[in-house]
A and B are shown apart, each in its own frame.
Chain A
Amino acid sequence: MKVDEIIKAQDLPIRDFDGIIIGGGGSGMRASLQLAESGLNTAVISKVFPTRSHTVSAQGGITCAIQSDDPEDDWRWHMFDTVKGSDYIGDQDAIEYMCSEGPKAVFELEHMGMPFSRTEEGRIYQRPFGGQSKDYGKGGQACRTACAADRTGHSLLHTLYQANLKAGTNFLNEWFVIDLVLNSSKEVTGVIAFEIESGEIFYIRSKAIVLATGGAGRIYASTTNALINSGDGIGMALRAGLPVQDIEMWQFHPTGIYGHGTLVTEGCRGEGGYLINKDGERFMERYAPNTKDLASRDVVSRAMAQEILEGRGCGPHEDHIKLRLDHLGPDVVHKRLPGITELSKTFAHVDPAVEPIPVVPTCHYMMGGIPTNINGQVVTLKEGKDSVVNGLYAAGEVACVSVHGSNRLGGNSLLDLVVFGRAAGIYIEESLKQGSSLSPSSKEDIDQALIRLNKLNASKEGKETAELKKQMQDNMQSNFGVFRREDLMEKGIEDLGNSREAVENMYLSDKSVSFNTARIEALEMQNLFEVAEATAITANERKESRGAHARDDYPERDDDNWLKHSIYFSSTKSVSKKDVNFRPTTVQAFQPTERSY
C-alpha cells in the first residue's frame, strides 16, 4: 500500500511492536534505550535519521546537582531555582523528581560514553547558567550546568544513538507518522505511519506509544529551531481530542544571532560574557542588579526588547543588542565555546574573541505541551478530573509534565529529556510486564486517522504550504511575541481562524510516492497550525503576566486567578484551568513570592 493512494483501513498492512517511540531526539532515544535494554521489541519511528533531531543543536549544557564544581551542592537548591524560574506554575512533584533523579540520569550518560568536558580532578565540568543559585537563592550564583564544551546536545544525542545501537533498538528512520489510532474508549492502540523513501504505509500497533516529537518553534518567523520542529505530536494529540497545557508559554532566548536566528548559548554569559546596548552600557545591571546577565531568560529577553524599544538598540536600525566575549581572551572563547566561534563566523561574520556578536531575543522553546504525570503517561481532563490516556505517553519538549512552568531555566531541557524519557521507559517496562490489554480499534477508528492524508491526496485546488506557512509565521511573530496585548492577539486569532479551512483543505501539487518532501511539509504545516492556534487562543485568555508571558495590558502576575495551568482543547477552542501541584514528597513546597533576580 502506497502513501499516494486513497487509503482504506482494511487495505493497510499491520506491524506490531511492544513499544514504539515517535521521535529520535533525546527523550525518545532515552525511552527506547530503557525498553530495548529490558528486552522489549522496541521501535523508534523518526522522520529524520536520529542524530539529525533537534536535540543536536543544544549547546550549553545539562543542569544537575552532580556536586562536581561544588561538593556541597544540593538538588533541593536546583529545585528551588526551577520552581522560581517557572514563576510558580511548574508542578513541584515533577520538579522534585527531575532534580533528585537527575544525577543518576547524568552519570548514566557518562557511563554510555558521553564526552563531557572535565575538571582537573577528572570529574564532569560544570559552568554557571542563568537563574542558578546556592542555598535557596541566598548563597549567590551556583555553577551547576554540566557540559561537553558548547556541543552538549550533539554529544548527548550521539551518545544515546550509540547506546541504542548497542542495545539493539529497531530504528524506523525516515518514517513519518500521520496520526494516532484510537479505540472506542479513546485509548491509543497505534499509529498510521509511512516510510518516506518507499512510500509504504502501515498501521503500526503497540501497547505503549511514546510521543517524543519535540517542539514547534517554526510557528514563528524567527526561531532558533530546526526546520523539522513542526509540533507533530501536538497536532496528533489535539486531533485525537486530547488537550495541551500552558501552550501560551513560549521562551524567547535572549541570544539568537541577529538576522538569522541561530542560537548562541547562555553558556557564553555563564563563562563571563555580557550584553551591551548601543552606548556600550552593560544594561542588565539596571534590570537585574544581583544576577545581571545571568538572570533567567524571560527577564533578560524582556530587558533586551525594552532597550531596543527605547532606542538603545545597536546597528543602523537600532534593532539588536551585542554580546561581548572578547574580554574573556581567545583561550576561553576557543576552548569553552568552539561551536559559538564557528557559528558566529559563519552567520554573523564576526570572531567573538575579537568583536561582539549581534543578537536578538528569538523564539526558542515551548514550555507547554501535552500534559503528563511523572511516569510520562498522558493525562486528559474528564468531567473536570485528571484521567490517564491508556496506551499513550509523552516526554521531552512535546510534553508538559510540567517542570518548566512559564519559563524554563537554561540547561533544564536536556535534563528533562533524559529524566522523563527514562521515567517513561521504566514505567512502560513495568506496566507491560504486568500485562495490559486495550480493546482493538475498529476500521472506522483507523479510517479516522487516515482522513487528512486522503484529503491531501485527493486535493485538486487550494492554497499550498509555503503561502499558508508564511502567513501564520508572520502573524505569530507580530502578535504573539515577547510582549503581548489583547487587540493585537485578537486580530491574530481572527486571521488564524480565517485560514483554518484553507489549512484543512490544502492543495498538494506533487503527489509522487518516493521521498516526497512536499507531502511531508503539508502534513507538518497542519501540525504547526494546531500549535499556533492553541498558542494564540490561550495567550489571549491568560490575563496576567507570568514568566515568558508578558502582557502590556495585564503587567502584573495574578496569583488569585492564574496560579494555574491552562488547558486547551481544539475541538471546542476552549481554555480551562488546572491546579498546579504543590505537593512534593520529600521537601516542603516552595510558595510563590515576588520573583526578582
Chain B
Amino acid sequence: MSTTIPLEEVKNVTLSIYRFDPGKDKKAYMQDIEIEVPANKDLMVLDALLLAKKKETSLSFRRSCGEGVCGSDGMNINGKNGLACVTPLSEAVKRNKLVLKPMPGLPVVRDLIVDMKQFFDQLEKVKPYLITKDETPEQERKQFPEEREKLDGLYECILCGCCSTACPSFWWNPDKFLGPAALLQSWRFITDSRDQATEERLDDLDDAFSLYRCHGIMNCVSVCPKELNPTEAISNIRKKLINRNN
C-alpha cells in the first residue's frame, strides 16, 4: 500500500455508485451519495460504503472480514478492480470523487453485486483439490521446505474474482477460457509435490481455449489484491504442456 495522505484533506467525499435493483429498475444508473469522513480517521473504501449504506439502506454490496482475506468485496474502484476493505480512500479518491462499479464482465445481480457463477464454474473445472493415488500414510505426507515453497504465491488466492473480471479474454469467453484465478489454482496443484494427477490436469487444459486464450497482458497481476501472479502460473503450465507435447 502506498503512503497515506492526511485525511483532513478528504472530509466530504462524493461516492458515485452503480445502482441497479432488478425488482424496480429497468436499467442501471449512477447515484451520488455524499459522506462525511471523520477527520484524522483512516478509512477504507469499505468504511465509506458502510457510511453510505447508513444514508441509503437499500445500497447493496458484499462484505465480510474487512481485512482483505475473505475476498467478498471485490469491485471496480475508480476504474480498477480491487478489494474495498483494503483500499484506503486517500489512495482511491480522485478529485474528491470515488466511482464504484461492480466488477466488469459478469452479470450484475444488484448494485455492486455480481453473479459469480461463471467464475466458480471455471474454478471447478480445474479440479481444485489434491489428487493422490498412493495409499494414505498414517501421519502427514512428507513435503520438504523447498517443495512447500513452490506453493507460496499460489495458495494465498482468496477467490475474490478481481483478476478474472479484469481480463478481456475472460470477458469474451467466460465459459471456455478458464481465467487467471482458475489457472492459478490449476498450477497450485500441478506444482504441489504431493499431487499425482499432473498428466490428467494437463490433458484437461490442452485445447485452444482453456489456457491458450491468455494473451499475457497481465491485467490480472496489476489488480490482484494479494499481489499474486497468475500470468506467471499460466506461463508455467504452458511450458509444461509444450515440453510434454514435444
* Chain A residues close to B by CB (< 8 Å): 48-49, 51-54, 56-57, 66, 107, 110-113, 115-124, 148, 151, 154-155, 158, 162-163, 165-166, 197, 226-228, 259-260, 262-263, 339, 342-343, 345-347, 349, 464-466, 509-510, 512-518
Contact = CB atoms under 8 A, between A and B. Distances in A.
B4 A349 contact: yes
B66 interface: yes
Interface string B129-145: 11010001011111111
B208 interface: no
A497 to B, nearest CB: 26
Interface string B198-238: 00000000000000000000000000000000000000000
A509 B1 CA distance: 38
B158 A115 contact: no
Nearest to A229: B64
Given A111-B136, A122-B147, A226-B70, 17 more contacts: A51-B71, A53-B64, A56-B65, A107-B138, A112-B130, A113-B192, A116-B148, A117-B148, A118-B143, A158-B155, A162-B128, A226-B65, A228-B64, A345-B1, A509-B58, A515-B113, A517-B60
A57 B70 contact: yes
Nearest to A464: B57
B72 interface: yes
A112 B129 contact: yes
Contact of A512 (B21, B156, B158): B21
A51 B128 contact: no
B101 interface: no
A227 B110 contact: no
B158 A154 contact: yes
Contacts of A51: 70-71, 158-159
B33 interface: no
Nearest to B20: A514
B140 A115 contact: no
Contact of B129 (A52, A163, A509): A163
Given A52-B71, A162-B130, A57 B65 contact: yes
Contact of A515 (B109, B136, B194): B109
25 contacts: A48-B62, A48-B64, A52-B62, A52-B64, A52-B65, A56-B69, A57-B67, A111-B140, A111-B141, A113-B129, A115-B192, A119-B145, A122-B143, A122-B144, A122-B147, A123-B139, A162-B129, A165-B124, A197-B115, A227-B63, A227-B64, A347-B67, A512-B23, A515-B60, A517-B53
A440 B23 CA distance: 36
Nearest to A157: B70
B207 to A, nearest CB: 22
B155 A226 contact: no
A148 B62 CA distance: 27
Given A163-B129, A259-B42, A514-B23, A343 B58 contact: no
Contacts of A53: 64, 70
B125 to A, nearest CB: 11
Contacts of A123: 139-140, 142
Contacts of B86: 346
Given A116-B140, A226-B66, A227-B63, A151 B148 contact: no
A342 B86 CA distance: 10
B24 interface: yes
Most B CB contacts (10 A, CB to CB) among A112, A115, A163, A165 go to A115
A154 B65 CA distance: 12
Interface in B1-38: 1, 3-4, 21-24
B244 interface: no
Contacts of A345: 1
Interface residues on B, range: 35 or more
Contacts of A110: 140-141
A122 B57 contact: no
B93 interface: no
B171 interface: no
A342 B132 CA distance: 33
A320 to B, nearest CB: 15
B109 A514 contact: yes
A148 B156 CA distance: 10
Most A CB contacts (10 A, CB to CB) among B42, B70, B109, B143 go to B70
Contacts of B158: 51, 56, 154
B68 interface: yes
Given A113-B192, A115-B148, A466-B54, A197 B116 contact: no
Contact of A343 (B24, B67, B144, B147): B67
Nearest to A112: B130
B42 A115 contact: no
Nearest to B136: A111
A107 B140 contact: yes
Interface string B160-179: 00000000000000000000
A538 B129 CA distance: 44
Q: Which 6 A-B pairs have the closest CB atoms?
A: A113-B130, A122-B142, A162-B129, A510-B58, A110-B140, A52-B70
A208 to B, nearest CB: 25
Given A115-B155, A343-B67, A107 B139 contact: yes
A48 B115 CA distance: 13
A67 to B, nearest CB: 9
A66 B138 CA distance: 11
Contacts of A513: 23
B151 interface: yes
Interface string B60-88: 11111111111110000000000000101
Contacts of A66: 139-140
Contact of B69 (A57, A119, A121, A197): A57
A286 B75 CA distance: 48
Contacts of A115: 148, 151, 155, 192
Contacts of A119: 145
Contacts of B113: 515
A197 B58 CA distance: 14
Interface string B79-119: 00000001010000000000000000000011101011000
Contacts of A518: 57-58, 60
Contacts of B128: 162, 165
Contacts of A262: 66-67
A412 to B, nearest CB: 20
A457 to B, nearest CB: 14
A464 B56 CA distance: 12
